[in-house]
Structure 1
């Protein structure tokens, strides 16, 4: 009889037949004692195993079935009652009180065949699972290689900015992936910096750029590129000029490559409501596919920019100026980031404030945001914070710089021929190891320009700290 893979019919479970003459003797004997010559087993629910036990003759009712599931036979008890003596002994030996049946050789062979088939199926499934896992791992490796290949080559990207330099406005084409990667990685670097940077000299401090990309390239060529020269930019990289995208992409690329070779502070034009009005937003929309999306990425990155830098604990650099809220440097140092769209308070003041010699203390700024402060405020703040010089930007100076009479505050502007409307010069400040500050000027051609530079080369002599044992 062929074996059904799910159910073995009851004839496999019946006791062996005896010849006619001996049938009555065997039946009589089976009523009194078990047969020890027939291999039998019972299924234990507790251990999940088949346990050899003594055989008791089951009821002759023919609806007892043997069901095979998961390689283990599970016996279904017949509907008739079977009260055999020795059940307690069987349970004590690890069996169950379920009815047990005789398994002829054919049934045992069927079970063994079923077990082999199940094991083969399980082995095949394990092999398929292993192969699927191997394919997934291979795909992940290919994906990782693809992501790595998509990573921006910053060396080539930076050199592209120098190779395409030419007069006038010339746009550099960037891939969307380049925007996303550069902005994301730059934002990661900025997020690790505090709102107040503590820096060591020497360094070069740069003022407003306002999208004048050619002048930025000229400055790097004349003074030196990062990381050979450490730079501190004081903000206003975008707006008004026609190449704001190129300026900010070059600076961000340098920041990712040399995090300790260039530092970028936030200016008031790195606020979304400002650069959406004064040119950067329109430049993104007009020259970048998905320009609004990229502009939004830039704004999230701008929110991570530091606000000020302290050089050798003596020179404080920021974009705008002072604030009545700046009582200690720790207040600024511990200020949380990101700083989203500041419009009042300490950060807003430091991005918008201006010095005014006509003001005695504090006055509301004519810009509509921040304060105007007088020279007495400069002296008082320097004394309270323990600093000797404040370097700021934020205002155009026709000479490229402007110094208050007390020499405790210097304003610098680094965009010459501003917007092609003014004949102004530009400058950056060089701070050496001894904290001596000198200017590097970028000016329109003039017959006596060398004489002017020589006369104004030395701006500020550091005073000796009385607490310094040297």
Structure 2
């Protein structure tokens, strides 16, 4: 009873966007790990359920989401990853979702996004470093002066951005398009489901804000370590009533069946390639077959790939996040793939609305569109993060 009371207090504190103690974060993550380790790579979720896309540390917009969608445990939630990075409140966002997962484990499901990752980069102050283009930033791969110490790899979007800057013992910088963040699963484990997106990665969170935020708010990287350890336990996907497959990014040429996903060892950092990477990084494209992704990770997949996957697994549709959609949601391939985006006015500057998908017990769909929280209800620093669409 005392344990539940402490958890309730922490949830209320986090709802006010107030940090909990470092020791409480450690204990919370330990409890979350006990719950998450029992979940499948393809976590079963029952309807009715509300499905949500990227949040990216926009805490006050997460509060707007709960305002329009209902609070946990009254509403059953599935969050499809990318809880951290870019927004100013990744710590509070992830910890609130994690606390809700622990409190109501059957009411919230969290799956991993590509930002739920630790390993790519330890650039702790990205806003204090500016890279501008010189004559050597051409369209080819460039290795200059110290080939064993620095590697610059350019992708198709690298007229302006660097895909991989590697300084082996000191800095590793990998940049593609933009997807790495952490997740939250604690207080109401049966009412919220979180799945992993490409931002649920240690490397990406070190470039796009979460690492630096933990260091700034707690004075050490201990909280970042506790949270990124949890990333590895997040499910890679979910299946609603056996008919709607939910994943952060998309499909993989290495995966034809859900059973193949179930065999992946997910308790690791997000790899740079392979099926686990693809699930968190891939995108649908108006084409056929497989294509090279401009993100530098994952693949582009066409309508025929989706048709084959859905038929083989007897699912009606794929629901995913990972891509900014100005209208909040977007259908692909004759409504066999759906993108849901749940971070309104992304990076506090994009001007988009957000959406959540509400599924009733018959899997009938109802979209709720919502806008960013009013300016007067939030405390936003004057400097806004740069919106890098492709990560």
Per the normalisation by structure 1, the TM-score is: 0.59
Shift of 1:174: 2.0
Q: Tell me, in whole angstroms, the C-alpha distance in 2 between the residues paired with 1:337 and 1:351.
A: 12
Partner of 1:204: 50
Partner of 1:303: 232
Check the 8 A contact 1:191/1:337 in 2, yes or no. Answer: no
Partner of 1:256: 102
- The change in CA–CA distance for 1:152 and 1:304 in structure 2 (over 3 A counts) is farther
Partner of 1:399: 327
Larger helix percent: 1
Check the 8 A contact 2:101/2:108 in 1, yes or no. Answer: yes
Give the root-mean-square deviation of aligned CA atoms. 1.8
Shift of 1:152: 7.3
Q: Tell me, in whole angstroms, the C-alpha distance in 2 between the residues paired with 1:390 and 1:223.
A: 21
Q: Tell me, in whole angstroms, the C-alpha distance in 2 between the residues paired with 1:324 and 1:347.
A: 11
Shift of 1:405: 4.0
Determine whether 1:438 maps to 2:343: no
Determine whether 1:361 maps to 2:289: yes
Partner of 2:21: 175
Determine whether 1:160 maps to 2:13: yes
Structure showing greater radius of gyration is 1
Shift of 1:266: 0.1
Determine whether 1:276 maps to 2:206: yes
Q: Tell me, in whole angstroms, the C-alpha distance in 2 between the residues paired with 1:266 and 1:152.
A: 28
**Residues 132-172 of structure 1: CA distance to partner in whole angstroms, max 9, x if unpaired?**
xxxxxxxxxxxxxxxx979971111112233x3xxxxxx62
Q: Secondary structure at the match of 1:310?
A: strand
- Select which of 212, 218, 243 maps to 1:314: 243
Q: State how 1:113-192 maps to structure 2 within 5 Å.
A: 153-162=6-15, 164=16, 172-192=18-38
How many matched pairs? 289
- Select which of 47, 68, 91 maps to 1:245: 91
Check the 8 A contact 2:64/2:372 in 1, yes or no. Answer: no
Relative to structure 2, which stretch is displaced further, 241-250 or 292-301?
Answer: 292-301
Q: Secondary structure at the match of 2:44?
A: strand
Q: Tell me, in whole angstroms, the C-alpha distance in 2 between the residues paired with 1:236 and 1:335.
A: 20
Q: Which ranges of structure 1 fall in alignment gaps of 5 or more residues?
A: 1-147, 165-170, 446-470
Q: Tell me, in whole angstroms, the C-alpha distance in 2 between the residues paired with 1:242 and 1:367.
A: 24
Determine whether 1:217 maps to 2:63: yes
Q: Tell me, in whole angstroms, the C-alpha distance in 2 between the residues paired with 1:361 and 1:259.
A: 38
Check the 8 A contact 2:68/2:370 in 1, yes or no. Answer: no
Q: Secondary structure at the match of 2:85?
A: coil
Per the normalisation by structure 2, the TM-score is: 0.71
Determine whether 1:390 maps to 2:326: no
Point out which structure has higher relative CO (alpha carbons under 8 A, 6+ apart): 2
Runs of 4+ in 1 over 4 A off after TM superposition: 148-152
Larger strand percent: 2
Q: Tell me, in whole angstroms, the C-alpha distance in 1 between the residues paired with 2:11 and 2:25.
A: 13
Shift of 1:201: 0.7
